Amino acid sequence: MKISAGLWAFGNMADRFATGGYREPLNITEVIGGLTGISGVEFNYSPALPIEELKSACAEKGLSISSIGVDLFSDPKWKFGALSSEDPNVRQQALEHTYKVIDLASDAGALVNVWPGQDGYDYPFQNNYPIRWQNMVESLEKLADYNKSVKISLEYKPREPRVHEVPGNMGEALLMVEEANRRNLGITIDVGHSLMVGEGLSHALSLALSKNKLFHLHLNDNFGLGDDDLAFGVVHRVEFLEMIYWAIKLGYDGWYSFDVFPYRENPFRTIEVSTKNLLDLYEKAKKLTGVPDTQIGERISEVLQGLRRVNPIFQSGIKCLQSYFAFSVVFEPT
């Protein structure tokens, strides 16, 4: 299993309430030097990023670059969409920006993660839906054709920052990718986004894997209402156990990459807790893949007992609260 983490976890953690962030961002050398238990990192490309410094720090530590994200969300010029924009100049700029990331990824042996964060709509009568859809499909075709040896992975999300984002679920993402029909074009499941949609996580994953279109996984957790980006495996342990079971069973060979936002917690500890949860669930899921279908019910109930023992969040009442707070001690504030 290849485990990676998004370096944005070490940024200043600005949100719309604390626009200056909750801490000073750490520098690349401190971050890479402090990482343990993972074999790759990913980041969003920005011209301000010290790429050479980052690459040499990773090489020194023996870390791969799993994925490079395309920032088509932070510049106001993308505010009404980028790759699907109805303005051909904006669309062209979005393509050219992404070509730069594809060049970098080709060099680094990474895939390119495309999350079209501003492509969507907020109000009725704001969008020409069929044109937007077609624009996005054509942009994806151009990106995939630009360098056929680099994988382009489309990440869906139902909302935030737009009220409705496109693609917003696995069905839309898969339809888009199948319409573009390029071998090097696939899908990233961000488990938090999938939980927000309310779709069945394992069903979504199986669907993409069975079409050979699952290129990347972003792991985090939430309480189902928003994109909380909590440490992986602190809430949805059973759902994640099943998802990993199907990932192993259907031969997923991509990265398991943490996309977490520890606004107030220690980012190194958040990634350590996520890694520990992933390894624990992976080991349990792997054992389950060897169990015949006729015995799986019995084995799963044993595994669930085990999950209750390792994760006190599953207990009820006061004990649950006590255990939860004991558990949360691992997240020292920064």
Residues that bind Mn ion (CB under 5 A): 190, 218, 259
Rounded Cα–Cα distance for residues 331 and 334 (Å): 9
Distance, CA of 249 to chain centre: 21
- CB 217 to Mn ion: min, Å: 9
**Contact yes or no for 160/111 (Cβ under 8 A):** no
List of E strands, 226-302: 255-258
- CB 318 to Mn ion: min, Å: 35
- CB 124 to Mn ion: min, Å: 28
Q: State the DSSP code for 314.
A: G
Q: For residues 115 and 133, which CB has a smaller minimum distance to Mn ion in the complex?
A: 115
Rounded Cα–Cα distance for residues 50 and 32 (Å): 13
Q: For residues 23 and 157, which CB has a smaller minimum distance to Mn ion in the complex?
A: 157
Q: For residues 160 and 302, which CB has a smaller minimum distance to Mn ion in the complex?
A: 160
Q: For residues 234 and 288, which CB has a smaller minimum distance to Mn ion in the complex?
A: 234
Rounded Cα–Cα distance for residues 99 and 114 (Å): 12
Rounded Cα–Cα distance for residues 187 and 78 (Å): 22
Tokens representing 49 are 């990023």
Rounded Cα–Cα distance for residues 215 and 197 (Å): 20
Could you please report the per-residue DSSP string of 210-246?
A: HTT-EEEEEE-B--SSS---BPTTSS-HHHHHHHHHH
- Residues with Cβ within 8 Å of residue 74, at least 6 apart in sequence: none
- CB 219 to Mn ion: min, Å: 9
- CB 156 to Mn ion: min, Å: 10
Beta bridge partners of 25: none
- CB 204 to Mn ion: min, Å: 14
Q: For residues 9 and 307, which CB has a smaller minimum distance to Mn ion in the complex?
A: 9
- CB 244 to Mn ion: min, Å: 17
Region class of 184: left (phi > 0), else alpha (psi between -120 and 50), else beta: alpha
Q: CB-based burial of residue 7 (10 Å sphere; 0-12 exposed, 13-18 middle, 19+ buried)?
A: buried
Quick one: which of 173, 187, 91 has its CA closest to 135? 91
Q: For residues 218 and 236, which CB has a smaller minimum distance to Mn ion in the complex?
A: 218
Q: For residues 176 and 303, which CB has a smaller minimum distance to Mn ion in the complex?
A: 176
- CB 79 to Mn ion: min, Å: 20
Q: For residues 8 and 324, which CB has a smaller minimum distance to Mn ion in the complex?
A: 8
